[in-house]
Amino acid sequence: MRKRSFYVFIITYCLFNLKAYAQSGKEVTLASKPPMGWMTWNYFADNINEKDIMEIADAMVTTGMLKAGYNYVLIDDGWQGGRDNKNNIIADPKKFPSGIKALADYVHHKGLKLGIYSDASSLTCAGYTASLHFEEQDAKTFALWGIDYLKYDYCGAPEDVETAKNRYKTMADALRKSGRDIVFGICEWGGRKPWLWAAESGGQLWRTTNDVRDKWKRRAVEEAGEGILDIIDLNSSLAQYAGPGRWNDMDMLVVGLNGKKGPSGDLGGTGCTPVEYQSQMSLWCMLASPLAATNDVRNMSEEVKRILLNPEIISINQDALGKQAVRKINNETWTVFLKPLSNDEYALAILNRSDQARQTSYDFAEFGLNGNYQLKDLWQHKIAGTGKKWKGTVNAHETKVFRLTRK
């Protein structure tokens, strides 16, 4: 009997300590929801400077972008000015005369966060100084400046997946050691299937495709450059890899670029219609992608605001459950996605891929949803019916998005 209580004591003691240990090691989940912000690249390419970025930050507050959830200002390639005599990476003094720390203080003061960019080789994609062999030093510098997010590119690095895993892990470890919570965005363009390993290498998000172009879709198989629909199709099978702190990044929103010359304007990027931009927003939200706007926030039309700032669509993207929508139907005309939401709700998206308006109807039972649901149309902002099915017309390239609540 005595022996038995001794063992019970030992086991209880061990369990207690194990629990305490597990709790002490518990870390905050970085990017528990898909990060939202604005990124310099598609609008400015590498012609960036602190004045424009501060103006954009101001506009993010005054236009309601920040209030809607876009809280990162993300500096992409082109900020670097080499290294000083101690090998510390420095900003280009002409573009950023006050330095990145001052810019971070400025955006923090507005309630925004600041992101920066580097690359896992010696030079970035646009040919600027990058971080290979300087990972710890650069991570410390970023932390000292007050950086909250790092996009880490892969130009100039070897093709093989093992090197990619290692180089990303080296930077992720360096960020963890830097003493600051810095979200880590992996950008190797999907070629090495990062959804299989990027979370383990320390990333909270990973690009799944090449750079998005400002177009609806490739016009011919041989046309280079992915459009909105191409990226949706590439991400449709990746739902199982997404979750809080681990997101499939479908690249930047091209909403409002309207065929602007620049990185997203080449390879057929001649611009999209408002309906197509609305579909990009709808499906980036359904597929739980990070949302990085790239339009000129200082000059937003009412139409662009309507799309980027729709709170009901954003709430689908930011839902606490953190699930990526699953593709339920896919044929020449229709692509249908279902996204489980918290509180036993669902978001249903119906995309008409064809070039004409078409009628359709769906029984929710086809998607495994039995029972009656109330449907809220998240673009019309009104109840679209209650029952077990939906019937209606969807315009060419339009995506209807409904929130389904059990009745």
Task: Report 166-205 residues binding ligand GLA (CB under 6 A).
Answer: 187, 189
Catalytic-labelled residue, pool 119, 153, 230, 319: 153
226 near ligand GLA (CB under 6 A): no
DSSP per-residue letters across 382-396? EEEEEESEEEEEE-T
Which of 50, 135, 138, 211 is close enough to bind ligand GLA by CB under 6 A? 211
126 near ligand GLA (CB under 6 A): yes
Q: Which is nearer to ligand GLA, 76 or 148 (CB)?
A: 76
Structure token digits, residue 73: 């200002």
Burial of residue 198, with CB atoms counted within 10 A of its CB: 0-12 exposed, 13-18 middle, 19 or more buried? buried
Reply yes or no on whether 46 is catalytic: no
Instruction: Using the Cα atoms of residue 52, residue 57, residue 61 and residue 66 in order, give the sign of their dihedral.
Output: positive
Q: Alpha-carbon distance 185 to 153, whole Å?
A: 9
Q: Which is nearer to ligand GLA, 95 or 376 (CB)?
A: 95
Structure token digits, residue 14: 């061990």
Task: Report 253-282 residues binding ligand GLA (CB under 6 A).
Answer: none
Which of 50, 135, 138, 153 is close enough to bind ligand GLA by CB under 6 A? 153
Reply yes or no on whether 153 is catalytic: yes
Length of the chain: 407
Catalytic-labelled residue, pool 119, 148, 211, 319: 211
SS3 8: helix
* Minimum CB distance to ligand GLA, residue 212 (Å): 9
Which of 41, 79, 206, 373 is close enough to bind ligand GLA by CB under 6 A? 41
Number of residues that bind ligand GLA (CB under 6 A): 10
Structure token digits, residue 59: 């506009």
Q: Alpha-carbon distance 78 to 116, whole Å?
A: 10
76 near ligand GLA (CB under 6 A): yes
Which of 60, 114, 125, 300 is close enough to bind ligand GLA by CB under 6 A? 125
H or E stretch at 89: strand 89-91
Burial of residue 14, with CB atoms counted within 10 A of its CB: 0-12 exposed, 13-18 middle, 19 or more buried? exposed
Q: Which residues bind ligand GLA (CB under 6 A)?
A: 41, 76-77, 124-126, 153, 187, 189, 211
